[in-house]
Each structure stands twice: as C-alpha cells, then as structure tokens.
A and B are shown apart, each in its own frame.
Chain A
C-alpha cells in the first residue's frame, strides 16, 4: 500500500513588489505636491511648500513604514513556506519510512524470526527506521513476534513430543497385547515362575505400562500357581481315596469268596457302592490331571470292559449289553475306555425314564470297535446336543470351561482326546439319544495268542501254590478267568508285592525277565528294581557281596561271569 504523496505546496500569487507600489505612490504624491506648490499663490507658496513637504515627509514615512511592514510580512511568509516545505519533507520521509517499515522491514523481520533467528539479531541486522516511535514500534513488534514464535515453537515441540509419546504408547500397547502378554501367559501356563517370565519378557519402554505388565504377570503367576497347587493337591488326595477304594474292592471280593450266602447280597451291595465311589473319584481325579484308580497290565476282553463299565453306575440293572465280540482292549487303554463307557452309560441311564432300558451294542468294524449306547429317554434339544458334542470333543480340556457339576462329559472329552476315541451323538431310533463310540484299532490288543506273554508272566506271582494249575486255567480262558483263587489263609495283599515275584518261580519265568544278552526287562507296571530281582537267582548269588580290590584274578572272574550271563538259562 502506498501512502498518498504529500500535497503540492501552494504557489504564492503573482504580485507586484511592494516597493513599486510605494514608489508609484511617492511619485504620485510628489507630483501632486509639486503641482500644489506650482499652483499655489505665491503668498502662500512657502506655506504650501511647507505643507507639501511636511505632507510628503509624512507620506514618505508612511510608505517606508508600509514597505518595512510589507518586507517583514514577506519574510514571514517565506519562512512559513520553508517550514511548510520542511514539514512536507518530513511527512514524506516519515511516510516513506512507514511504508518501508510496513512493506519491507516487518516482512523481513517476520521471515527472519520464522527462520529462527534471535529477536536481537534480527533487530540489529534490520534497517532501522529513523523515527524513534517507529523504531519503538518495530522493537515491540519484533519482541512480541519473537515471543510468539518461541511460544509456537515450544507448542509445536510439545505437540510433537506428545504425538511421539502417544505413538510409542500405542505401539507398546499393541505389542503388549499382541505378543508380550500371550507369550507371558503361555509361559506361565507351562509352569514358569513370574520372575522367569518377566526376565524373558520384552518390556515396554513406558514406565506405567511396565508396571502394569509386571503386576499382571505377577498376579497371573500367583493364580496359575494357585490353580496348579489346588489341582495337584486334589489329585494327590484323590489318589489316596482311589487307592483306598481299590483296596476296599479287593477286600470285598475276598470276603465274597470267604463268606457264605447269608451276607453275600450285602457284600454285593457294598461292592456296588464302592464301585460307584470309584467312578466318582476317578472322574474328579482325571479332571484334576491325576490318574485313574486302576491300571491293567493285560488285555481286557470287551465283555469285561462292558461289565466293568456298567458295574460302576447306579442303575446297572437297566443296561442291556449285546456283545458277541471277542476282541480285547490293550491294557494301557482298558481303564480309560471303561471309564469313558461308564460315564456315557451313566448319562444315558440318568436321562432316560427309570423303567426304560439302555442298550449297548458292540460291533467290530475295520475302523475299530463301535460301541453304541442307546437310551429311549427324551430326545436332547439341539442346544444340549451341541453342548454335549462340544464337551466330548475334547477340544477344550481347560477346567475353566466346566459347567457346574456336569463333569462326566468333560471327562469323556479328556479321555477321548487322550486315546483318540471318537464320540458322536445322534438321535436314537429308540426315541432317545444314541452315542456312538469308535475305539480305534490301536487300542485293541494284538491277538497273536490266547494271552500275551506279559499278562501271563505277571499273573504268576499272585499264586504261590499250584502255579501250574493257574497257568493252564489262564491259557484256556484269557482274561475273565485271570482272577486267581486266593487261598483262605493267604489273603492276597493288595497291591500285590512285586518283590515276591521272583523267588519261588522257576528259572523259566526268571529267564523271561531278561534279554538273551543278559539285560533285565522291565515288565509294564513294575519298577526296574523289581524286574531286576526277577532275574536268575544264581547270578545274584554268584555276585560277590563286596567288590574286592582290583586285581587280575577278579577282573578275569568278572569277564567270565559276564560271559556266563549271556546264557539265557543259567544253571539254577
């Protein structure tokens, strides 16, 4: 913007010089006085002359005065003109200064200050206006602008900082929730302590997040430890109950043999109650990660599996077994299969009318053994069926998914997942629900002979007398008859002591407990020490009780004995 140029100075009017007017007046007055003197009578001429001279003097004085005054006036006027011009010049300079300030200096200052130079430097390098007020304006403006620029810069820095922190926090949070926490939880689940997890963890940089993560990990660690401790304690306690129940069952079986018919029905009732107790404790123990109460070391035929399962439920009289199958379930899986079938039969019996029967069919298929449990109770609703299928699928074996007291199906799921058994629900043709259990072929015992070797060798220790008869009986009928007849005076201690196994047996049995190379073979379910005791007695006798000092003779003897040990049938 340009300011208007100052007004042009007024031109003085053209006038005749004052002295000309005065001279003309004086000439006119002198002419008039001469005329008057000439015209005057003589008499009066001297007076007239005097008067004219006097008048002329007066006129001259007047004119001179007027001239002086006019000169002064003119001087004053010229002085005023000069002043006016000076003022004009100042105004124009000031306007120029202002324009320069506004158009050049201030934008320059703004630019410099924006570029980051100091206010004083900018002021020093700027072209200062001459006007002190403008300079003051410039200084104030510059200072304020510098201050404003500083504040802006500070604010922007703060904002950038905040944005950076926010971004970092978001990234930390994402990393925390995406990787760090799941990894920590997984490690904690595996049983690591909170400190170990924290040491291995990629901690976020943000302090509060770190505190939060640490607290969480510690709390989670405590919870996991608590859960694990509770689980272990209950599994252990349940193990004792299971052992007691098993020994009660053995005692009851013994009493059933020894006592007559008068108490037989009572004993059977007790037996049934104890078996149901066993089902309950096994259910809890399996849920708690413990073991089943029993472990079979020989194949169990399907009929015994079904009977063992049905004997554990309350309403076993309502269950009808239809099995012509002669296959046997391998010993390691027998107890699990029995428990699984017992749970499913228990469910079927509980959810069907108390007068209806539950039918269990066994079919042999190439895919394995198919056990179908059909009840004629109420058809399960879709939601209940879905829940049941979900429970028996074994996908989530976490205790947190348990619903109330319905533990049976969860146990079925655990066992099915453990042994690769598939359990399917379908509506039954009898009106209720059918459960189809497919036992895969790897659970079946290989049927090479009547009874695998392990079952027979371990059968013997129970019978101290008449072992030959036992062996023939076992050979004739594999599993169900395997229960040895306890002598009335020799109550079989349960659990049977494996250490008694070796001594009374012949060398045949003992030789079977060792490889041809002389190494001991641990039969399933026995400790290595027990198996070692089962090895040929002569070796143990020949072994020196205390190793003698190393000498050539002893070394040769040891070599000789090691050669003798290779003989599968050492002299008794």
Chain B
C-alpha cells in the first residue's frame, strides 16, 4: 500500500470557524472596502481568528485585506467581523468616496501645477 501524502492544510472547517452560520445577519454593514479598526487588544481565550483580526486592525484595514490575510472567504470574515462588532471590539467605517472626491483640488489647478513643474 502506498503511503498517502500528508495533509498540509488545516483541520479547521469553515463552518466550525463561523459556528455553523453561513451568512451575516445584516449584509449592509460590511462592504468589501469597509475600514475596520480594532478598539481593544486581544484577550486570552478568544477565537484565534478574532485575535488575528484585532491584531491586524490596529491600523485601519479593509475587509478584503483582512480576508486575504486570514485566507478565508469574505463571507466568513464578515461573520467574524460582525461578532467582533457586536462585542464592541472593533469599529467599522465606510470610506466616504464622495467626500473624498469633493476634497480633491480642481483639475485646472492641477494642470497649472503640472505646467509649472515642466517649466522648472
């Protein structure tokens, strides 16, 4: 009998990570680009994914980034983030794209700057 190759993956199945849940209660809270910031440090006894999210989000991080770091599907990360949000350990903030666009300088001004730079 040939020896089977060993498993290099993880024994965790995703439904055990989410506790059996497969979707978030409120799908509007976390967008793909919602910025997440941790509000407290991880405490012992927490789920390891929560610990990693809190560590990652000491600086604001988007949901997709967290998902990429955790190597988990977005749906699972949303469920985890929802748990943390409900416990008050993180805050979520939508990037205000419209406001950011309004704050940008005028394109004419930019053209002038560009022109001035070329003339240097």
Binding site for B on A (CB under 8 A): 236, 239, 243, 246, 249-250, 253, 256-257, 260-261, 264-265, 268-269, 271-272, 275, 291, 294-298, 300-301, 303-305, 307-308, 310-311, 316-317, 322-324, 331, 334, 338, 458-459, 462, 473, 477, 479-485, 495-496, 498, 524-527
Encode contact with A along B53-82: 1 for CB under 8 Å, 0 otherwise.
000000000000000111101110000000
* Other-chain residue from B8, B17, B18, B52 in contact with A462 (beta carbon distance below 8 A): B8
- CB-defined contacts of A304 to chain B, threshold 8 Å: 10-12
* Centre residue among A261, A265, A272 by max chain B CB count within 10 A: A261
**A527's closest neighbor in chain B, by CB?**
B3
Minimum CB–CB distance from A246 to chain B (whole Å) comes to: 7
**A236's closest neighbor in chain B, by CB?**
B1
Provided the pairs A294-B11, A324-B45 are in contact, do residues A481 and B6 lie with their beta carbons within 8 angstroms? no
Determine whether the beta carbon of A295 is less than 8 Å from that of B4: yes
**B74's closest neighbor in chain A, by CB?**
A261
- CB-defined contacts of A236 to chain B, threshold 8 Å: 1
* Other-chain residue from A271, A310, A483 in contact with B9 (beta carbon distance below 8 A): A483
- CB-defined contacts of A322 to chain B, threshold 8 Å: 45
Provided the pairs A458-B8, A483-B9, A495-B4 are in contact, do residues A307 and B16 lie with their beta carbons within 8 angstroms? yes
The answer for the CA separation of A473 and B4 in the assembled complex, in Å, is 27
Determine whether the beta carbon of A272 is less than 8 Å from that of B15: yes
**B78's closest neighbor in chain A, by CB?**
A261
Determine whether the beta carbon of B6 is less than 8 Å from that of A295: yes
Determine whether the beta carbon of B12 is less than 8 Å from that of A307: yes
Determine whether the beta carbon of B11 is less than 8 Å from that of A334: yes
What is the interface of chain B mostly: helix, strand, loop, or mixed?
A: loop
* Other-chain residue from A272, A296, A307, A310 in contact with B6 (beta carbon distance below 8 A): A296
Provided the pairs A264-B22, A271-B13, A272-B13 are in contact, do residues A243 and B4 lie with their beta carbons within 8 angstroms? yes
The answer for the CA separation of A525 and B9 in the assembled complex, in Å, is 14
The answer for the CA separation of A253 and B48 in the assembled complex, in Å, is 19
* Other-chain residue from A239, A479, A484 in contact with B1 (beta carbon distance below 8 A): A239
Determine whether the beta carbon of B10 is less than 8 Å from that of A482: yes
Determine whether the beta carbon of A305 is less than 8 Å from that of B73: no
B44 within 8 A of A: yes
Q: Known pairs A268-B15, A291-B4, A483-B71. 4 more at Cβ < 8 A? A: A261-B74, A294-B11, A297-B8, A307-B13
* Other-chain residue from B6, B22, B44, B73 in contact with A524 (beta carbon distance below 8 A): B6
Determine whether the beta carbon of A477 is less than 8 Å from that of B52: yes
**B24's closest neighbor in chain A, by CB?**
A261
Please list 14 pairs of residues, one from A and one from B, whose beta carbons are closer than 8 Å in the complex, sorted by A's number: A253-B9, A261-B75, A264-B22, A264-B23, A265-B22, A271-B14, A271-B15, A308-B11, A338-B11, A458-B6, A480-B10, A481-B71, A495-B4, A526-B6
The answer for the CA separation of A300 and B19 in the assembled complex, in Å, is 20
Determine whether the beta carbon of B5 is less than 8 Å from that of A253: no
The answer for the CA separation of A527 and B14 in the assembled complex, in Å, is 31
How many Cβ-Cβ contacts under 8 Å join chain A to chain B? 122
- CB-defined contacts of B49 to chain A, threshold 8 Å: 480
The answer for the CA separation of A173 and B60 in the assembled complex, in Å, is 86
- CB-defined contacts of B9 to chain A, threshold 8 Å: 250, 253, 482-483
The answer for the CA separation of A181 and B23 in the assembled complex, in Å, is 65
Binding site for A on B (CB under 8 A): 1, 3-20, 22-23, 44-45, 47-49, 52, 68-71, 73-75
- CB-defined contacts of A485 to chain B, threshold 8 Å: 68, 71
* Other-chain residue from A265, A271, A462, A525 in contact with B23 (beta carbon distance below 8 A): A265
Determine whether the beta carbon of A305 is less than 8 Å from that of B11: yes
**B72's closest neighbor in chain A, by CB?**
A257
Minimum CB–CB distance from B57 to chain A (whole Å) comes to: 14
Determine whether the beta carbon of A316 is less than 8 Å from that of B4: no
**B69's closest neighbor in chain A, by CB?**
A473
The answer for the CA separation of A296 and B13 in the assembled complex, in Å, is 15
The answer for the CA separation of A272 and B10 in the assembled complex, in Å, is 15
**A242's closest neighbor in chain B, by CB?**
B4
Determine whether the beta carbon of B7 is less than 8 Å from that of A296: yes
- CB-defined contacts of B52 to chain A, threshold 8 Å: 477, 481
- CB-defined contacts of B1 to chain A, threshold 8 Å: 236, 239
The answer for the CA separation of A479 and B49 in the assembled complex, in Å, is 12
**A478's closest neighbor in chain B, by CB?**
B48
The answer for the CA separation of A316 and B13 in the assembled complex, in Å, is 12
* Other-chain residue from B4, B7, B73 in contact with A257 (beta carbon distance below 8 A): B73
Determine whether the beta carbon of B12 is less than 8 Å from that of A308: yes
Determine whether the beta carbon of B8 is less than 8 Å from that of A482: yes
The answer for the CA separation of A152 and B23 in the assembled complex, in Å, is 103
- CB-defined contacts of B69 to chain A, threshold 8 Å: 473
The answer for the CA separation of A557 and B8 in the assembled complex, in Å, is 41
Provided the pairs A296-B7, A317-B19, A477-B52 are in contact, do residues A484 and B14 lie with their beta carbons within 8 angstroms? no
Determine whether the beta carbon of B7 is less than 8 Å from that of A294: yes
* Centre residue among B5, B8, B12 by max chain A CB count within 10 A: B8
Determine whether the beta carbon of A479 is less than 8 Å from that of B10: yes
* Centre residue among B11, B44, B45, B48 by max chain A CB count within 10 A: B11
The answer for the CA separation of A311 and B1 in the assembled complex, in Å, is 29
Determine whether the beta carbon of B4 is less than 8 Å from that of A256: no
* Other-chain residue from B8, B44, B73 in contact with A324 (beta carbon distance below 8 A): B44
Determine whether the beta carbon of A264 is less than 8 Å from that of B68: no
- CB-defined contacts of A481 to chain B, threshold 8 Å: 10, 52, 70-71
The answer for the CA separation of A272 and B13 in the assembled complex, in Å, is 8
- CB-defined contacts of B5 to chain A, threshold 8 Å: 495-496, 498, 525-526
The answer for the CA separation of A297 and B107 in the assembled complex, in Å, is 58
Determine whether the beta carbon of A311 is less than 8 Å from that of B16: yes
The answer for the CA separation of A362 and B16 in the assembled complex, in Å, is 17
The answer for the CA separation of A471 and B31 in the assembled complex, in Å, is 29
Determine whether the beta carbon of A296 is less than 8 Å from that of B19: no
- CB-defined contacts of A317 to chain B, threshold 8 Å: 19-20
- CB-defined contacts of A246 to chain B, threshold 8 Å: 7
Minimum CB–CB distance from A70 to chain B (whole Å) comes to: 140
- CB-defined contacts of B23 to chain A, threshold 8 Å: 261, 264-265
- CB-defined contacts of A305 to chain B, threshold 8 Å: 11
**A460's closest neighbor in chain B, by CB?**
B8
* Other-chain residue from A264, A275, A297, A308 in contact with B73 (beta carbon distance below 8 A): A264
Determine whether the beta carbon of A297 is less than 8 Å from that of B16: no
- CB-defined contacts of A484 to chain B, threshold 8 Å: 71
